[in-house]
């Protein structure tokens, strides 16, 4: 497929992305920040009453079985899916071309497919102080019982809208609008200085 | 103030956008009844007490909600999706 | 009642201040009046004052449900200006400005009106043009306005961050030098004393619980202190208009009641000598004579009759404050409070006869009510006395919304939140 | 050893010596000292000057309520004014200075105000300074002249202008139980809740948990209360479901059990660690709040009660027991209740001589008499203090017989030599947070205090907060509250045993001793008992009038010391019980909060920057950026030595002569998808979209419900059920919400999803006579000729191997194309297009040239669609479909919207060949001295390279009817006046032959 010959995408974080240790790291590194750069980020939306069909379609294409309930989600390292709004799901794949895999599957009867692979930037924060740093930005409860593994949340930090998936006990994947990504990244690094952070 | 979004659960008011009086009835698109249009566009029920309101969870799932809220105590009594239909059991 | 003056102060000081009399009487309500003004706030009191002074109508009662001046006249950030875009607003507020300029003399009460100017900061060339449009509109109506350069602004407010490195650098501003601030409570007390001295009954702790009718006509009110009849019943209850109109059986109005918060810092030596507004958000600030920084921002943004604010607005206002004044980060917010605003669907007020026979309505002040106090009462008094509006308030009708004659200074359309 | 420091005792670290300065003089203190305790230990008695009379003042309190000892703390150039010395923990190198005095604290010229005493009574401002009715000082001038000096005399500390280098941060916290206050009640509550497994946050504004246990001298479970407290804290520290927040003031109780707290993270340190905030702002959403905030001791109102050396009894006890500092050597106490006796004993133990206990009550209990003798103090029951002596420090006091029933004084006065006078006027529970939560306090005549109201939100009270002043009660209530808050059943297990001095919690109802001399109610604002009575005489009798007229309770302590005494004095004047005067509802904050902490992480970073994918390219290629909302966009790509005008004229001219390219990625883009997408667009746009063919685009206009113009843009049909809508940059968010509202609330039956894809697609608009040739030379996979790509057509192809979507549409009026690609690739596409354009002299152009070309074409933007204009005003009525209703169609013909005097869009040409200004007005007759009768205003203007003239778009009364007529630009703000011609807004290529090609 043509996508395979495509050049590498440019990251919006480029000039502000400085691998290495920063902040108060002499006292240990408590969070690790990275841009995960997935090849595909899709939004799937089901018409009211068609959610089950869509969830089924997602399982068929990605092999990921969504748990029931609002904001439920699951990830397997290369692929992730979570609900972020009524009848709406974000599906992520390391590789490109997931949209074409869904193309025939999401019929007009079920809902719509919107490719946001370029429009959203994926940032990962991991480490013992991940919850602490996230709590500086978002007014939601990051404690594991309130925000289970795999689950997704839609929230915002003032002007910056974010979808967040818990991809590990102390790991979160944050999806922000590309145009805001650099500002958010700078703020995230700034907020992580207190606990010492490493950019990978 | 916290508003319980049927999808996202209780969230701070900062995530929501107020869309005002939820009792207003929009006339049929083709209606030429100007009084009805004026009432819909300009007039508001403005009670001191429980009020039916429309809010959008603009900083979250972006769904519009029908909210019953007391305008004196700010207590949120009930919330529901403005657009029914979705079978998603809420979190709260 | 004794005139206030430096001499009377001295005389009373020598007699141990024992001879001062109440600033206004505390009469019991009479059975009937020529005019009842509901609402003992700035607008109601000034209405009564001008009914007596300008129209010789002195058989007037002002009914206040709580303590006099307990509404927005004592809860605002005291800015007085007439720097509007649209001529209907500018003419009205300029008339108010002229009344302000002689108010202390007129009332024999120092309302401490201080014309230290109001400066709107501009942060983009487009915004500067927009302000120029407004300033020129003012100038074409004989109202003072001028553009200030960054250097002039820096000299006027040294504490301001005018460095180009700011997220929203200051490129200039629109200044109205005749704008200023006044001691808000003194305005209520001065009008109360002035009206009282002309025979008006000011009746506190007297809540209106219903309207008396003769057929469709309003003929008086029932109150917590009994029934009171009147030829004319005038409402000046901005903030509670929805509640009071409900008593008259009118449940729908082009108005929502919203909370607006205000804040004051601990007392500081003079550091801000003018009224300043931020152009890239919603923030305004001035410094009181006592030294407190008095400032505020946007509405909380939802219907409320609780004079209690929400946290997000507090954060937003403070964020904008230190964006302009990074040196004030260690200054501390001492007190916050909330006022109820009648937010109309175009951001402009309503001063009109009706909507019911025998009723007169003054409401919809959004958050511009304080500076309007003199002109609002002056125009309302005229409207009540003559049964028709003065030219200054003729545009502020209730039906303007429906006829497409909105006075929308901000161009936001039929939303109460954004004005 | 400093003069006032005790030999032993206190929890200060006597082995650690800390050096600091106050008003330039060097002092030392110990670890654990506050600035107040350290200065007191050094024999300092004078701490501040009052607001109005500049009277010398010492310490009144030991805690957050201190009204007198306000200082400014300096960190280099950065000033922190109005901090209570009692709340400043000293550190090496601390620099503090006193306030509101010139030249010095000891000699303050402001003190002359005391001479004017009776003239400067409450409300005197309102009665004078009106000035002459005529002459140069009429109107507001005289007042402003006086005000100039008044303002300089007023004010406390001086704020700095040097930017605060500190960092502030916000923390969003969630818990089951928030415990406010760490005294015995709070500690018990936290422990009980934590033991139930609840998520607990325990906050206390002091540096050390324990509250009164740290100085009460009582024993709990057989050990000193302070040790018991530390042990309890140790047990809490172990639990990972407990967060301990010392130095954290919970200052706001908001709706939804949301509480705001301020943690002072580094104020007590010499320097912050890397990334460490100075203060942290906690927004806490708590299931239940336990309010264990204790109580305040009240001053008594009597002549000379503000003399340095007169102090609250418990404060002196704290200084002695907690800090090992004696506020005096010869101490007298003056009280209306039992608690002062315990203080007397404590101070005696600490080594002071207690010369007398003056009690307004004649019938003093035997237990208290025992305590008095234990303190070796002479007990003067049924007496009152009627005067104090001394200047900057207390030297003595006078007492007289006093009848608590009627307040009468009798007999001769007697002098007592003392250097410390401790007063206790009873205790007021700290109910501020409960009151903030939204309910009215209730007066308790036994306690002579306002007690907390019934909860209106989820909180439970415990300890002195509820009026239960004994430690035993506090411990019981604390545990019960903790269990209830954690949803557990009450416990019958034994409670810690308390050994405490006896005492009746109810004081005598005595607040003021009426005798000759100034008796202060509000210390900082110099409000005296006489001022309160004057307010009464003048009719300012409601509590709010009292506050506003006298400024009682408006000082930095917000009435913590003065509210109840002030109310009591007014009540007596009125002959009414205190509750009928009322209490003021407390509002946030409980104590003053730094503005920086509230800005938190946004201090220095108010708004994020929104950048297009090509941003770095623009910066690297000489663009001057322009901030448009949150976006940054190139304004011009200036060459060395070029003015802005020269730059945009060059860019626009080159575009019209050959080709230019501009970054249009900021345009709002919304994917409109679903079976009903076309129907939906027909409803939101004034014109038809269901008839639009796949692969074609159409210009659309939206109205608001009220019939006025809202937004415009092109919408592309990419498939049967697939549209790409573009909006103006400024309105993208508003339009999105508008669409979502109608789909969710009004037309839920429509199967349509709308998604912001603004950031998915980046766009470059390339226009000019050579634009097509440039594309032809670099686009693969599709032809771009007229047949393949007609006006408003859409094709898909590749540039540099990257998939692109090309739509042929024009804003510049030239043959133009918008080339869209995935944002991650778009800079490569952009560079490829520029490379391909080199042979043709392709220029990059910015907003100025874009604006210039759109003005030449007469296109409208936000400057014309300003929320007050209709489609007709803008000559867009041709877009108002008659075949269907659409949003706004029913309202757009109301009388006011079709009136003949509305402002309409026109073009202007400057006849004097000078630049015009945006915001300039249009008049028929020029009157530079007194401009009047504006016809309208300029919305946009430029030098038009195409016409070789200065032109503008304007909104003018009469509009079209004035085409071809002359008028004047009248711009007094910029002194720009001159003749203009009013013409059509379509200046350039009106029939569009260039773009249709």
* Predicted pLDDT at D139: 81
Number of helices (H), then strands (E), in chain D: 23, 52
Contact D159 C413 (CB under 8 A): no
A159 vs D contacts (CB less than 8 Å): 607-608, 630
Burial class (CB in 10 A: 0-12, 13-18, 19+), D111: middle
Q: Does C252 touch chain B (CB under 8 A)?
A: yes
The nearest CA of chain A is from the CA of B38 a distance in Å of 32
Task: Specify the DSSP class assigned to residue D498.
Answer: E
pLDDT of residue B85: 46
Asked if pLDDT for residue C1 goes beyond 60, the answer is no
Tell me if C202 sits within 8 A of C192, measured CB to CB: yes
Q: What is the maximal distance between C-alpha atoms in chain B? A: 44
Do the chains contact at D760 and A116, CB–CB below 8 Å? yes
Tokens of A110: 């079920």
How far from D390 is each of C361, D394, D395, D396, CA to CA, in Å? 61, 5, 5, 7
Q: Do C102 and D156 touch (CB under 8 A)?
A: no
Chain centre to alpha carbon of residue D741: 31
Among D274, D284, D620, the residue to mutate for chain A (most A Cβ within 10 A): D274
| pLDDT, position D9 | 85
From the list A84, A85, A139, the residue facing B14 with the nearest CB is A139
Q: Identify the CA nearest to A155 among candidates A170, A175, A169, A132.
A: A175
CA angle D8, D9, D13 (to 5 degrees): 90
pLDDT for D249-263, tens place per residue? 999 999 999 999 999
Q: Which residues of B touch D706 (CB under 8 A)?
A: 41
User: What is the C-alpha to C-alpha distance for residues D818 and D66, in angstroms, rounded to an integer?
Assistant: 67
Nearest CB neighbour to D255, from listed B74, B81, B83: B74
A62 vs chain D: nearest CA distance in angstroms?
23
**Chain D closest-CA separation from residue A151 CA (Å):** 18
Instruction: Please give, rounded to a whole number of angstroms, the shortest distance from the CA of B75 to a CA of chain D.
Output: 7
B13 with C310: Cβ contact below 8 A: yes
The answer for B 58-87 residues in CB contact with D (under 8 A) is 58, 62-64, 73-76, 81-85
- Cβ–Cβ gap D891/B37 under 8 Å: yes
pLDDT (0 to 100) of residue B84: 64
Model confidence at B89: pLDDT above 70: no
Tell me which H or E stretch contains A139. none
Q: What is the pLDDT of residue D437?
A: 93
Mutate to test the interface with B, among C303, C310, C317 (most CBs of B within 10 A): C303
What distance in Å separates residue B12's CA from the closest CA in chain C? 9
Nearest by CB to A70, which of B11, B15, B90?
B90
The pLDDT value given to residue D2? 55
Please tell me which of the candidates B39, B55, B74 has its beta carbon nearest to residue C304.
B74
CA–CA dist C1, D838 (Å, integer): 88
pLDDT in tens, D598-634: 999 999 999 999 999 999 999 999 999 999 999 999 9
Q: Is D367 exposed, middle or buried (0-12, 13-18, 19+ CB in 10 A)?
A: middle
Q: Residue D30 in 3-state DSSP?
A: strand
ipTM, 2 dp = 0.96
Residue B92 pLDDT more than 60? no
Distance CA D271, CA D31 (A): 16
Q: What is the pLDDT of residue D106?
A: 85
Query: Under DSSP, is residue D654 helix (H, G, I), strand (E, B) or coil?
Result: helix
What pLDDT sits at residue B88? Answer: 39
Q: Is the pLDDT of residue C392 over 80?
A: yes
Using an 8 Å CB-CB cutoff, list chain A residues near D631. Answer: 179
Q: Say yes or no for a CB contact (<8 Å) between C289 and D542.
A: no
Spatial separation of the C-alpha atoms in residues D379 and D338, rounded to whole Å: 13
CB distance from B12 to chain D under 8 Å?
yes
Option in B35, B71, B73 nearest C303 (CB):
B71
Cβ atoms of C292 and C183 within 8 Å: the answer is no
Residues in chain D where the model's pLDDT stays below 50:
1
- Tell me if chain A has a CB within 8 Å of the CB of B15: yes
What are the tens digits of pLDDT across the range D332-357?
Answer: 999 999 999 999 999 999 999 999 99
Q: Which of D744, D885, D891 sits opposite B83 (nearest CB)?
A: D744
According to DSSP H, which parts of D717-783 are helical? 732-741, 771-778
pTM over 0.90: yes
Spell out the residues 6+ positions from residue D790 whose beta carbon is closer than 8 angstroms to its own.
D808
Among candidates B14, B41, B46 on the partner chain, residue whose Cβ is nearest the Cβ of C256? B46
Query: Please, what is the Cα angle at D499 between D494 and D503, to 5 degrees?
Result: 115
Helix (H, G, I), strand (E, B) or coil at D554: coil
C neighbour chains, 3+ CB pairs within 8 Å: B, D
Residue D168 touches chain A, beta carbons under 8 Å: no
């Amino acid at each position: 497929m043509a996508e395979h010959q495509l050049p590498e995408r440019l990251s919006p974080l480029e000039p502000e992305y400085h691998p290495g240790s920063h902040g108060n790291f002499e006292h240990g590194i408590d969070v690790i920040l990275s841009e995960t750069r997935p090849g595909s980020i899709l939004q799937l939306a089901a018409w009211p009453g068609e959610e089950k069909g869509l969830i089924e379609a997602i399982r068929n294409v990605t092999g990921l079985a969504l748990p029931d309930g609002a904001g439920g989600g699951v990830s397997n390292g290369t692929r992730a899916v979570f609900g972020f709004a009524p009848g709406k799901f974000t599906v992520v794949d390391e590789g490109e071309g997931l949209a074409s895999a869904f193309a025939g599957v999401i019929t007009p009867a079920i809902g719509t497919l919107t490719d946001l692979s370029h429009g959203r930037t994926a940032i990962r924060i991991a480490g013992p102080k991940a919850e602490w740093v996230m709590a500086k930005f978002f007014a939601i409860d990051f404690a594991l019982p309130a925000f289970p593994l795999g689950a997704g949340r839609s929230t915002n930090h003032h002007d910056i809208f974010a979808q967040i998936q818990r991809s590990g006990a102390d790991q979160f994947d944050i999806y922000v609008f590309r145009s805001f990504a650099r500002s958010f990244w700078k703020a995230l690094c700034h907020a992580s200085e207190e606990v010492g952070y490493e950019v990978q | 103030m916290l508003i319980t979004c049927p999808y996202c659960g209780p969230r701070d008011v900062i995530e929501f956008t107020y869309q005002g009086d939820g009792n207003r009835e929009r006339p049929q698109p083709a209606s030429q009844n100007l009084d009805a249009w004026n009432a819909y566009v300009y007039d508001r029920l403005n009670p001191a007490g429980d009020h039916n309101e429309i809010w959008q969870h603009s900083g979250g799932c972006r769904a519009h909600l029908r909210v019953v809220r007391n305008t004196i105590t700010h207590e949120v009594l009930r919330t529901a999706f403005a657009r029914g239909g979705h079978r998603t059991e809420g979190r709260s | 009642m004794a005139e206030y003056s430096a001499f009377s102060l001295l005389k009373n000081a020598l007699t141990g201040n024992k001879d001062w009399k109440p600033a206004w009487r505390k009469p019991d309500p009479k059975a009937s009046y020529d005019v009842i003004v509901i609402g003992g706030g700035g607008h109601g009191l000034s209405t009564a004052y001008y009914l007596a002074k300008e129209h010789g109508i002195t058989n007037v009662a002002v009914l206040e449900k709580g303590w006099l001046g307990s509404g927005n006249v004592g809860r605002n950030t005291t800015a007085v200006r007439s720097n509007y875009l649209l001529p209907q607003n500018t003419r009205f507020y300029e008339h108010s400005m002229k009344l302000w300029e002689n108010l202390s003399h007129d009332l024999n009460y120092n309302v401490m009106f201080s014309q230290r100017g109001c400066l709107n900061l501009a942060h983009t060339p487009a915004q500067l043009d927009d302000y120029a449009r407004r300033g020129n509109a003012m100038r074409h109506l004989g109202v003072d306005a001028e553009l200030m350069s960054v250097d002039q602004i820096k000299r006027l407010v040294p504490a301001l961050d005018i460095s180009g490195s700011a997220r929203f650098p200051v490129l200039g501003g629109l200044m109205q030098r005749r704008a200023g601030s006044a001691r808000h409570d003194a305005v209520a007390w001065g009008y109360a004393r002035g009206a009282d001295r002309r025979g008006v009954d000011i009746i506190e702790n007297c809540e209106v619980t219903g309207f008396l009718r003769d057929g469709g006509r309003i003929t008086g009110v029932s109150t917590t202190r009994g029934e009171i009849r009147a030829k004319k019943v005038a409402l000046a209850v901005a903030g509670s208009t929805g509640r009071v109109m409900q008593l008259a059986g009118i449940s729908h109005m082009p108005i929502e009641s919203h909370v607006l918060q205000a804040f004051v810092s601990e007392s500081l030596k003079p550091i801000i000598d003018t009224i300043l507004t931020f152009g890239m958000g919603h923030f305004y600030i001035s410094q009181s004579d006592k030294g407190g920084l008095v400032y505020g921002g946007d509405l909380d943004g939802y219907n409320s009759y609780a004079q209690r604010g929400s946290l997000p607005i507090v954060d937003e206002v403070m964020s904008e404050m230190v964006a302009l004044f990074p040196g004030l980060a260690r200054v501390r917010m001492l007190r916050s409070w909330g006022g109820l605003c009648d937010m109309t669907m175009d951001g402009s007020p309503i001063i009109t006869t009706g909507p019911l026979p025998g009723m007169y309505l003054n409401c919809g002040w959004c958050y511009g009510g304080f500076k309007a106090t003199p002109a609002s009462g002056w125009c309302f008094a005229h409207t009540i006395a003559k049964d028709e509006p003065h030219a200054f308030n003729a545009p502020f009708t209730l039906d303007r919304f429906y006829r497409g004659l909105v006075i929308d200074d901000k161009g936001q359309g039929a939303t109460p939140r954004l004005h | 050893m400093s003069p006032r420091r005790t030999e032993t005792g206190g929890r200060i670290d006597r082995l650690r010596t800390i050096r600091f300065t106050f008003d330039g003089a060097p002092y030392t203190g110990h670890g654990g000292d506050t600035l107040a305790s350290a200065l007191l230990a050094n024999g300092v008695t004078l701490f501040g000057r009052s607001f109005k009379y500049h009277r010398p003042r010492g310490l009144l309190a030991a805690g957050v309520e201190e009204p007198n000892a306000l200082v400014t703390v300096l960190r280099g150039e950065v000033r922190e004014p109005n901090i209570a010395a009692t709340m400043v923990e000293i550190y090496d190198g601390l620099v503090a200075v006193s306030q509101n005095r010139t030249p010095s604290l000891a000699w303050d010229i402001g003190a002359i105000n005391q001479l004017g005493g009776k003239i400067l009574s409450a409300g005197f401002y309102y009665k004078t300074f009106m000035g002459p009715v005529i002459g140069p000082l009429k109107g507001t001038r005289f007042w402003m002249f006086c005000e100039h000096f008044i303002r300089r005399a007023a004010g406390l500390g001086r704020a700095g202008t040097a930017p605060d280098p500190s960092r502030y941060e916000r923390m969003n916290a969630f818990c089951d139980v928030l415990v406010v206050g760490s005294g015995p009640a709070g500690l018990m509550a936290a422990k009980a809740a934590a033991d139930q497994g609840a998520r607990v946050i325990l906050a206390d504004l002091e540096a050390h948990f324990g509250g009164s246990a740290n100085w009460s001298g009582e024993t709990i479970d057989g050990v000193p209360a302070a040790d018991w407290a530390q042990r309890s804290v140790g047990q809490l520290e172990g639990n990972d479901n407990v967060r301990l927040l010392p130095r954290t003031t919970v200052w706001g109780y908001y709706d939804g059990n949301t509480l705001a707290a301020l943690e002072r993270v580094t104020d007590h340190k010499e320097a912050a660690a890397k990334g460490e905030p100075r203060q942290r702002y906690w927004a806490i959403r708590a299931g239940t709040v336990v309010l264990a905030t204790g109580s305040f001791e009240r001053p008594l109102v009597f002549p000379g009660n503000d003399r340095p050396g007169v102090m609250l009894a418990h404060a002196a006890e704290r200084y002695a027991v907690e800090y090992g500092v004696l506020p005096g050597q010869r101490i007298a106490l003056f009280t209306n209740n039992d608690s002062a006796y315990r203080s007397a004993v404590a101070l005696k133990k600490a080594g002071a001589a207690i010369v007398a206990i003056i009690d307004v009550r004649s019938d003093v209990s035997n237990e208290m008499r025992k305590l008095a003798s234990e303190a070796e103090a002479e007990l003067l029951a049924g007496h009152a203090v009627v005067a104090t002596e001394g200047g900057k420090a207390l030297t003595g006091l006078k007492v007289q017989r006093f009848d608590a029933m009627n307040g009468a004084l009798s007999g001769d006065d007697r002098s007592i030599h003392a250097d410390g006078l401790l007063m206790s006027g009873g205790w007021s529970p700290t109910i501020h947070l409960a009151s903030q939560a939204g309910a009215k306090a209730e007066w308790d005549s036994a306690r002579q205090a306002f007690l907390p109201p019934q909860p209106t939100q989820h909180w439970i009270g415990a300890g002195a907060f509820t009026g239960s002043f004994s430690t035993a009660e506090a411990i019981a209530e604390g545990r019960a509250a903790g269990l209830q808050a954690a949803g557990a059943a009450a416990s019958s297990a034994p409670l810690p045993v308390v050994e405490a001095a006896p005492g009746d919690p109810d004081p005598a109802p005595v607040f003021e001793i009426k005798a000759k001399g100034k008796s202060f109610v509000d210390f900082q604002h110099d409000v005296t008992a006489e001022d309160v009575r004057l307010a009464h005489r003048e009719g300012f009798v409601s509590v709010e009038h009292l506050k506003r007229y006298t400024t009682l309770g408006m000082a930095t302590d917000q009435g913590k010391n003065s509210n109840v005494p002030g109310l009591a004095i007014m009540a007596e004047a009125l002959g009414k019980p205190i509750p009928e005067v009322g209490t003021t509802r407390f509002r946030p904050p409980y104590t003053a909060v730094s503005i920086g902490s509230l800005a938190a992480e946004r201090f220095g970073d108010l708004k994020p920057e929104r950048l297009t994918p090509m941003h770095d390219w623009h910066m690297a290629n000489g663009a001057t950026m322009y901030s448009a909302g949150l976006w940054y966009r190139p304004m011009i790509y200036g060459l060395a030595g070029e003015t802005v005008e020269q730059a945009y004229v060059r860019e626009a001219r080159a575009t019209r002569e050959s080709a230019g390219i501009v970054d249009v990625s900021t345009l709002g883009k919304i994917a409109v998808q679903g079976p009903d997408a076309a129907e939906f667009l027909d409803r939101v746009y004034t014109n038809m979209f269901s008839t639009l063919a796949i692969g074609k685009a159409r210009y659309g206009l939206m109205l608001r419900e009220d019939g006025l113009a809202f937004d415009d843009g092109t919408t592309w049909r990419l498939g049967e059920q697939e549209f790409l809508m573009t909006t103006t940059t400024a309105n993208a968010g508003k339009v999105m919400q508008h669409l979502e509202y109608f789909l969710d609330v009004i037309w839920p039956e429509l199967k349509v999803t709308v998604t912001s894809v603004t950031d998915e697609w980046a766009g470059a608009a390339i226009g000019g006579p050579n634009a097509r040739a440039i594309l032809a030379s670099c686009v693969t996979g599709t032809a771009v000729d007229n047949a393949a790509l007609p006006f408003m057509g859409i094709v898909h192809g590749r540039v540099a191997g990257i998939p692109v979507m090309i739509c042929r549409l024009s804003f510049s009026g030239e043959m133009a194309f918008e080339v869209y690609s995935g944002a991650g690739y778009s800079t490569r596409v952009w560079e490829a297009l520029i490379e391909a354009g080199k042979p043709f002299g392709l220029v990059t152009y910015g907003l100025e040239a874009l604006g210039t070309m759109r003005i030449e074409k007469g296109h409208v933007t936000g400057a014309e669609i300003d929320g007050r204009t209709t489609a007709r005003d803008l000559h867009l009525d041709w877009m108002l479909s008659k075949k269907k209703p659409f949003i706004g169609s029913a309202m757009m013909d109301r009388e006011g919207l079709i009136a003949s005097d509305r402002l309409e869009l026109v073009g202007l040409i400057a006849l004097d060949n000078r630049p015009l200004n945006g915001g300039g007005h249009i008049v028929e007759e020029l009157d530079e001295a007194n401009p009047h009768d504006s016809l309208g205003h300029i919305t946009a203007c430029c030098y038009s390279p195409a016409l070789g003239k200065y032109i503008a778009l304007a909104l003018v009364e009469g509009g079209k009817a004035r085409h071809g007529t002359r008028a004047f630009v009248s711009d007094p703000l910029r002194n720009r006046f001159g003749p203009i011609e009013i013409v059509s807004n379509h200046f350039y290529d009106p029939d569009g032959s260039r773009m249709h090609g």
